[in-house]
Structure 1
Amino acid sequence: MTLAAFTQLPAGDLVLASASSIRAKILHDAGLGYRCYPVAIDEESVRASALAEAVPVGDIAIMLAEMKAAAAVQRLAFETDPSPAFVLGCDQILACDEVIYSKPHDRAMAKAQLMALSGKTHQLFSAAVLYRNGARIWHHLAIAKNTMRRLDEDFIESYLDRLGAAAFTSPASYQIESLGAHLLSRIDGCHFSILGLPLLELLGILREHGLKPATSRR
């Protein structure tokens, strides 16, 4: 049974410009009314162009999050009347030793990423951009520093066997909400941001814009 949202916004549910089941679960578990509206942008091309121009990694994450939110705003304007008031775009980039790691396309790439990150400290840049009534009103960038355990090849193979297709949904096949907890020896950063959504900061800005409990006690 799906529980009703604990909170409400003054002008309808939040729109999440993403197909991420993890981000959706974070919003659901926090009691937010939301709906998913995935959009497609050429992330690899944008990322490559930005890197060629020496754009900082954190700025790239914000740029991609904004592009997703803006694309959703534009498309929804043609589909719904009135268009949704609040639209959220998110992006996450993993970087280590000046190398950016994207979602692996296949098992060989997932294995290569895990072997390359084994025993090293890397950074996760998690960006969120919020639009209200078609205008960008807020962004946030969270940076976590995480250290991966030394992983031998047998462990990596077993890990990927168990994850299956889920290994291709995040850079370095993270999945720290489940089996990925075995990958890391140290986490320096917000749990929610590491999962891909800076929830505490998002709740803060939404409260400033009218977020409140859906029901109030008399």
Structure 2
Amino acid sequence: MIILASHSPRRQELLKRIVPDFESHPASINERALPVLDPPAYVQSLATAKGQSLVPSYPGATIIAADTMVAFQGKLLGKPHDRAEAKQMITALGGQTHQVYTGLWVRLDNGSVRQQVVTTDVTFWPLSEADVESYLAEDAYQDKAGAYGIQDAGALLVKSIQGDFYNVMGLPISTLYRMLLAEPQ
């Protein structure tokens, strides 16, 4: 049995590309209780906490947990609370390069644990006020770390990426596939 510690439709869609049969169960953790560390350490600690929270309920299962965050100039950008915060984020990212970090935590059915942080650099085009307003009008910023999703309207903001495209969507499936096979990284 394989358990995905998430109800995210994007993560489920991506996981189906490499694992056709799994169950999705969200982890119930208090993210605010974890200390905010540097971005890579923080996403790894969140993924670890999510995965470990499901071990007692699924002791013999393979458990996959992930957490994705956007960071700009060393500062974490979570999901915007409202349109104004989304506008601040998108405006700041315009013409700049930022990082997307995903912490992966996998406990295989044999009990061994693998973890890794995947980093992707994303560069946005320089954005005018009209560009930002046009993007915000799509409401595609809602429920997205950094106020954008590369798989929808946010794709028009992106000039280039260096690294794993699927990491920016929230689940770096190439790395995860290798972790599930227990191949060395």
Pair in the same fold by TM > 0.5: yes
Quick one: which of 207, 213, 218 aligns to 2:181? 207
Residue 160 (structure 1) shift: 1.9
| Counterparts of 2:60 and 2:141, CA distance in 1 | 33
Contact 1:126 1:196 (8 Å CA) reproduced: yes
- Correspondence for 1:32: 20
Q: How many angstroms apart in 2 are the aligned matches of 1:43 and 1:136?
A: 24
Match of 1:120 among 93, 96, 105: 96
1:167 aligned partner: 141
Offset, 1:44: 3.9
Which whole-Å CA distance do the structure 2 matches of 1:84 and 1:106 have between them? 41
Answer whether contact 1:104 1:171 (CA < 8 A) is retained. yes
Higher helix share: 1
- Structure 1, unaligned runs of 5 or more: 1-11, 78-82, 210-218
- Residues 1:100 and 2:76 are matched in the alignment: yes
User: Aligned-pair RMSD on alpha carbons?
Assistant: 2.0
Aligned AA for 1:177? Answer: Q
Identical amino acids, percent of aligned pairs: 27
- TM-score after normalising by structure 2: 0.89
Following superposition, the deviation at residue 40 of structure 1 comes to 3.1
Please name the residue that 1:196 is paired with: 170
**How far apart, CA to CA, are the structure 2 residues paired with 1:195 and 1:136?**
27
Q: Is the 8 A contact 1:17 1:90 kept in 2?
A: yes
The residue that corresponds to 2:129 in the other structure is 153
Cα contact 1:93–1:102 (8 A) shared by 2: yes
Show the counterpart of 2:116: 140
Instruction: State the TM-score, normalizing by the size of structure 1.
Output: 0.76
Summarize deviations over 1:182-207 as a string: whole Å, max 9, x none: 11111001111121112112212322
Give the C-alpha shift of residue 155 in structure 1.
1.9
Task: Give the whole-Å Cα distance in 2 for the aligned partners of 1:107 and 1:191.
Answer: 25
* 2:158 equivalent in structure 1: 184
AA of the residue aligned to 2:168: I
Counterpart-to-counterpart distance in 1, 2:7 and 2:163: 24
**Structure 2, unaligned stretches of length 5 or more?**
none
**CA shift digits 1:2-36 (9 cap, x unpaired):** xxxxxxxxxx2x21111211111001233531121
User: Which runs of at least 4 in structure 1 moved beyond 6 Å after TM superposition?
Assistant: none
Partner secondary structure for residue 143 of structure 1: strand
Shift of 1:100: 1.1
